[in-house]
Amino acid sequence: MNKRATKAASASPRVPTGSPERLRSSAPEAVFLIGFMGAGKSSVGAVLGRRLNWIFEDLDDRIERRERRTVAQIFRESGEPAFRRAERSALQDVLEGIHNQARVVALGGGAFVQTSNAELLKSSGVPIIFLDAPVEELWERCRKQASEALAERPLLRSLDQFRELHEKRRSHYCEASLTIETGGRTVDQIADEIAAKLGLKMLEPRSQEGDVE
């Protein structure tokens, strides 16, 4: 079910944006990655987690395990409002255990846009990183993943609808603690930048990999 493991940001550098002013002074032990579809949240999160020996978790995967259905099935069979309720409960679960083990959590593109989720996330004190990119590039990445059957995205329709949704959501994402530009950059470059800007500390390797509770 892990549709996200293969999502990737692409290559060739652009200037990073965002500033770390709103970040905590002590090194955090959890990070949330947010951004629109195709932002590279899952691929960057997986690389960052491996590099730091932190758990990596994708909120959509937790939803799928809890619901025993894929995200696409939930949308198809029960509709978006049901998906948003499942997303909210899964997020509450994650937040309850957030200080137990160091982890990187990638959220689906709509999670932070729900005001109540954003409030919960902000009040957790965990840094929220917005992975940004030009909308055309996001579209291209999603199209490529769709053509390679790497990700089934219920909200991936026409370019116009994609742009419109992106436009509506972008101001929400900008409320993150830090914005990282991903346009034309590799997953490794992005993970490095996040680790450096937040001063994230590498842990001793865990004995059991991927043990998300």
Which residues contact ligand S3P by CB under 6 A? 4, 37, 41, 60, 71, 108-110, 153-155
Q: Which is nearer to ligand S3P, 60 or 181 (CB)?
A: 60
In the complex, least distance from residue 174 CB atom to ligand S3P, rounded to whole angstroms? 16
In the complex, least distance from residue 31 CB atom to ligand S3P, rounded to whole angstroms? 16
Q: Which is nearer to ligand S3P, 84 or 185 (CB)?
A: 84
- The span from the CA of 88 to the CA of 127, in Å, is 18
Q: Which residues contact 168 (CB under 8 A, 6 or more apart)?
A: none
In the complex, least distance from residue 82 CB atom to ligand S3P, rounded to whole angstroms? 12
- The span from the CA of 191 to the CA of 51, in Å, is 9
Residue 197 CA neighbour count, 13 Å, CB half? 24
Q: Which is nearer to ligand S3P, 79 or 125 (CB)?
A: 79
A 10 A CB-CB count for 15 gives 6
Q: Which is nearer to ligand S3P, 23 or 154 (CB)?
A: 154
In the complex, least distance from residue 71 CB atom to ligand S3P, rounded to whole angstroms? 5
